[in-house]
Amino acid sequence: MPTTAVRVSGLTKKFGEVQALAGIDFEIPEGTIFGLLGPNGAGKTTAVRILATVHRPDAGTAEVLGYDVVNDAHEVRMRIGLAGQYAAVDPNLTGRENLRLMGRLAQVEPSYIPPRADELLHSFDLVDAGDRPVRTYSGGMRRRLDVAASLVQKPPVLFLDEPTTGLDLQSRQELWNTIRNLVREGTTVILTTQYLEEADQLADDLIVIDHGKIIAQGTAGELKRNLGGTVIELTMAEDADVDKAVSLVGAVVGTEPERQGSLLRMPSPDGSHLLTEMLRRLDDGGVQPTGVALREPSLDDVFLALTGHAAEEEEAAANGRGNGQAKGGRKGRRS
Amino acid sequence: MSATTIATGRLPVAKRSALAKEFNDGRAMIGRNLIAYKRVPQLLVFSTIQPVIFVLMFTYVFGGAIAGALPPGVPYVDYLMPGIFVQTVVFGSLAAGVGLATDLKSGLLERFASLPVTRSSVLVGRTGADLGRNIFVVILMFIVGTIVGFRVHTNVFGLLGSMALVVYFGFALSWIFATLGLAVKDPETAQAAAFPILAPLVFASVAFVPATSMPGWLQPWANNQPVSSVVLAARALVLGGPTAHYVFWALFWCTVVLVIFVPLGVRTYRRAI
């Protein structure tokens, strides 16, 4: 029977006027990947920071491997690794020195540290750069080192706050593989992301957070099924075509498509079948779309479906949150 | 040293006493901050060039004009050097604020907060590294001073006592600026906020000129404020004359600063992340 790695109950946290978390509950079984999905300012980072003992909750409880994050913070810290939102490595130290420093601070028995640092430099493709100051690294290299630094002590529970932000496609996929391997070895991974695809690729279970509340819970597949699967987008050349297309397409789908200027968007529960039918009708009606796209629902679609508002609207809330100055100033990597 | 396994898969934990752990954390943090001076030597060069220029400028440019106001038998360079020691560590103490604000912005402090390290070690690491740097810089200033004619009137113990007092003062000030840096959370702001505090302390003091040349209303401040107290003590230790009174006040100020700002700094650190 699987044991519980993380148990969260009634967690709330307020920064000034902003309610970052408004009472969330969830449980994560050991050895699984758990995704926290949501837009900027939704409360994902706050949840992770509380679990990683960086912040204290205002109310509610959180346990990691049976230890309370407030009362047994030290025991929690001995068992977790955290890669926060910003590549938190010392720019003046080399990659190797950074890893060794983190190992030392994680209280790892000294003889284990140098071989572990070498191993991580190897698996994160940083061997050549290992003895160069991090100042000289590219953004992607820094990010990889940051994730590596959270793994030095081989933590049983790992928190990754938007780990693939700023990584190119290849690095992203390599990191996904690394995460899968960690879980295979028994690590529990808690991952925040703004990308449904990432949660889809990795997470066994996920929650969607908005305004500090859980608005949906389940597997990525379940969430997408609720959304109606893939989305079709059609771009029209002329306004007259748009009106005509709306009625033609509407007849196929059964509901009126969402309209944004010359763009039509509609859910497509059975994937490409509907698209073929739609294009034939448009062709019969003498309307030629200039662009056709069939894509997986994005986080925006999830948000639109779940909350009735788009994810970008959350930006304003995100900017007003917590110690805004420090957060707003940090690298500006979040879009 | 033996190791303990605390969880499956996790690398074994070094078995350390609470004190040994404190030592491990502090040394690791101090080490990382000192490496910055090795990797970015400009940091050290710029913090030493300015006092060197002061030594040369004050000695050769103002020395003649000030000589008349000095006690008989004391060349200006001998009067000046203890003041330069103090001025160097005072401006050097800014680094603590700038450094911690930078670490906060980069997310490093967040990472440290999730690690099983002693809470105070982050601050000890910063102020301890600055203490090391100050020892180096004060010795360097002594060498530069000696080249331009600085002579100790007392003995080697007076000199060492003087230097020790100055670096102790620098250490105490580091805690003020560590607190400030964590409170303002931004390196540029930390730098900008510090200058208006430091300028009246350093320049309206007896570091470079005797208070007798200042207007009457300024003299009580210039004679008794913390920087002047430390300068007077450091000067008495190398020039001779009555010493105990000055040293008492210098130690008093350093201790007051530490008693207030060590707990305040740790508190500000906890709230800053």
State pLDDT tens for residues A234-255: 888 777 778 888 888 887 777 7
**Position B10 in a domain:** no
The pLDDT, as a whole number, for residue A229 is 64
Q: For an interface test with A, give the residue of B115, B133, B182, B269 to mutate (most A CBs within 10 A).
A: B115
Q: What's the CATH number of domain A4-224, 3.30.390.10, 2.70.50.30, 3.40.50.300, 3.40.50.2000?
A: 3.40.50.300
| CB pairs A-B closer than 8 Å | 129
DSSP A286: T
**Position B90 in a domain:** yes
**Position B114 in a domain:** yes
Q: What is the mean pLDDT of chain A?
A: 84
Cβ contacts of A78 on chain B, cutoff 8 Å: 6-7, 10, 13, 116
Inform me whether the pLDDT recorded for B24 exceeds 50: yes
Cβ contacts of A156 on chain B, cutoff 8 Å: 7-10
Cβ contacts of B114 on chain A, cutoff 8 Å: 52-54, 77, 80-82, 159
* Cβ–Cβ contact B68 with A under 8 A: no
Contact status, residue B138 vs residue B165, Cβ threshold 8 Å:
no
Minimal Cα–Cα distance from B268 to chain A, Å? 13
In this complex, do A65 and B7 lie within 8 Å of one another by their Cβ atoms? yes
Task: Kindly report the pTM of this predicted structure.
Answer: 0.82
pLDDT tier at A333 (50, 70, 90 boundaries)?
Answer: very low
Min mean pLDDT across A97-106, A128-137, A265-274, B36-45 is at A265-274
Total structural domains within chain B: 1
Inform me whether the pLDDT recorded for A271 exceeds 70: no
Nearest CA in chain B to A113: B11
Inform me whether the pLDDT recorded for B119 exceeds 90: no
pLDDT tier at A36 (50, 70, 90 boundaries)?
Answer: very high
Task: Name the one residue in this structure whose structure tokens are 């700038």.
Answer: B98
Sequence ranges of chain A with CATH classification 3.30.70.2190: 230-295
In this complex, do B35 and A97 lie within 8 Å of one another by their Cβ atoms? yes
**Position B89 in a domain:** yes
In this complex, do A53 and B114 lie within 8 Å of one another by their Cβ atoms? yes
One-letter-per-residue 3-state SS of chain B: CCEECCCCCCCCEECCCHHHHHHHHHHHHHHHHHHHHHHCHHHHHHHHHHHHHHHHHHHHHHHHHHHCCCCCCCCHHHHHHHHHHHHHHHHHCHHHHHHHHHHHHHCHHHHHHCCCCCCCHHHHHHHHHHHHHHHHHHHHHHHHHHHCCCCCCCCHHHHHHHHHHHHHHHHHHHHHHHHHHHHHCCHHHHHHHHHHHHHHHHHCCCCCCCHHHCCCCCHHHHHHCHHHHHHHHHHHHHHCCCCHHHHHHHHHHHHHHHHHHHHHHHHHHHHHC
**Mind listing the pLDDT tens digit for each residue in A50-104?**
999 999 999 999 999 999 999 999 999 999 999 988 889 999 999 999 999 999 9
In this complex, do A88 and B111 lie within 8 Å of one another by their Cβ atoms? yes
**Position B250 in a domain:** yes
pLDDT tier at A329 (50, 70, 90 boundaries)?
Answer: very low
* Cβ–Cβ contact B139 with A under 8 A: no
Sequence ranges of chain A with CATH classification 3.40.50.300: 4-224
The pLDDT, as a whole number, for residue A172 is 87
Min mean pLDDT across B1-5, B49-53, B112-116, B265-269 is at B1-5
Inform me whether the pLDDT recorded for B214 exceeds 80: yes
In this complex, do B13 and A93 lie within 8 Å of one another by their Cβ atoms? no
pLDDT tier at A20 (50, 70, 90 boundaries)?
Answer: very high
In this complex, do B6 and A82 lie within 8 Å of one another by their Cβ atoms? no
**Position B104 in a domain:** yes
**Position B8 in a domain:** no
In this complex, do A53 and B39 lie within 8 Å of one another by their Cβ atoms? no
Give me the mean pLDDT over the A107-121 stretch: 96
Range of the domain at B97: 17-272
Q: What's the CATH number of domain A230-295, 3.30.230.70, 3.40.50.1380, 3.90.1150.10, 3.30.70.2190?
A: 3.30.70.2190
pLDDT tier at B2 (50, 70, 90 boundaries)?
Answer: low
Q: Which of B251, B252, B119, B118 is nearest to B182 (CA)?
A: B119
